[in-house]
Amino acid sequence: MRRWPMLLVLLGAGAAQAGRPCEDKPLRPEQVERGMGLALTTARQLDASGAEVVLLARAGQDLGKYGLQWSHLGFAYRDGSGGDRTRPVWRVLHKLNQCGTARSDLYRQGLGEFFMDRPYRYEAAFVVLTPALQQALLPLLHDNAQLPRLHEPRYNMVAYPWGGGYQQSNQWALETLALAADAQNRSRALAQGWLKARGYQPSDLRLSTATRLGARIGMANVTFDDHPSARRFAGHIETVTVDSIFAWLPRAGLGGAMQEVKEQ
């Protein structure tokens, strides 16, 4: 991941990816322009929403064959901790996989860097969380000591939603949201139980044996050994997706309808 002077990464280190291809080629000028343009448009819509915390998604990969629109999300929040407190900026906290490995870290970025990862589509989407949930999340998002509380560094792109051996990026965000919503969710197991009780339903990806075998052999960040055997051998791979989270939040009374951001 490239470092832009005005967009400092505060957590983690090294190249990383989530919901996008992992490449090390220099960005073309038009990619920089489009990424920064999308960041500016997103900031304007987030400002207009009146929110302090939202869940923000990008389209890093084409997941249309799985019926999915968005690949990766993080928490976007207003940050007035800089030099000019009268003009807060939007920051994004999210989990990224270290390229070519099965490890991950948490990152704090500006909107520009969030959209500088060669997205499949220069579009974004966000859900404004309820005021109570926003207020519960804000102190947590500023607390570097508490943020990793439910973070599992062993990364699996298709981690089983109700397991503890691995964790993918969207799963960390969802479990951390559960922690903020109820302080009793002090472990991943408790957070997952809370999500189940409130009707969260993961996406069911239909993957053939050949697809699973190819991914397992060729990608360090993909494994299926945490999924129930009967479901896995039948080609049912359940995992946490942006689309499933965005569909669940209004049902659970924790957020509003998804709002899309188009490139201008």
Give tens-digit pLDDT for 160-169: 999 999 999 9
Q: What is the pLDDT of residue 218?
A: 57
Give a yes or no: residue 58 inside a domain: yes
Give a yes or no: residue 167 inside a domain: yes
Q: What is the pLDDT of residue 4?
A: 26
Give tens-digit pLDDT for 77-135: 999 765 455 567 999 999 999 887 899 999 999 999 999 878 889 999 999 999 999 99
Answer with the residue of higher pLDDT: 20 or 237.
237
Judge whether 226 and 166 are in contact, CB under 8 Å.
Answer: yes
Cα separation of 155 and 121, whole Å?
24
**Which of the 8 DSSP states describes residue 142?**
T
| pLDDT at residue 9 greater than cutoff 60 | no
pTM flag (> 0.75)? yes
Give a yes or no: residue 4 inside a domain: no
Answer with the residue of higher pLDDT: 177 or 231.
177
Judge whether 224 and 184 are in contact, CB under 8 Å.
Answer: no
Give a yes or no: residue 63 inside a domain: yes
Give a yes or no: residue 2 inside a domain: no
Give a yes or no: residue 252 inside a domain: yes
| pLDDT at residue 219 greater than cutoff 60 | yes
Structural domain boundaries, residue 212: 16-262
Give a yes or no: residue 95 inside a domain: yes
Report the amino acid identity of residue 119: P
Q: What is the pLDDT of residue 72?
A: 96
Domains held by the chain: number:
1
Q: Is 82 exposed, middle or buried (0-12, 13-18, 19+ CB in 10 A)?
A: exposed
| pLDDT at residue 3 greater than cutoff 50 | no
Residues 7-12: contacts with CB under 8 Å, at least 24 apart: 7/109, 7/110, 7/112, 7/113, 7/116, 8/110, 9/107, 9/108, 9/109, 9/113, 10/107, 10/108, 10/144, 11/93, 11/105, 11/106, 11/107, 11/108, 11/144, 11/147, 12/96, 12/105, 12/106, 12/107
Report the amino acid identity of residue 204: D
Binning pLDDT at 50, 70 and 90, where does residue 153 land? very high
Cα separation of 110 and 60, whole Å?
17
| pLDDT at residue 14 greater than cutoff 50 | no
User: Rg for the chain (alpha carbons), in Å?
Assistant: 18
Q: What is the pLDDT of residue 8?
A: 28
3-state helix, strand, coil in the chain (%, to 5): 35, 25, 45
Give a yes or no: residue 9 inside a domain: no
Give tens-digit pLDDT for 28-64: 888 889 999 999 999 999 999 999 999 999 998 888 9
Give tens-digit pLDDT for 173-197: 999 999 999 999 999 999 999 999 9
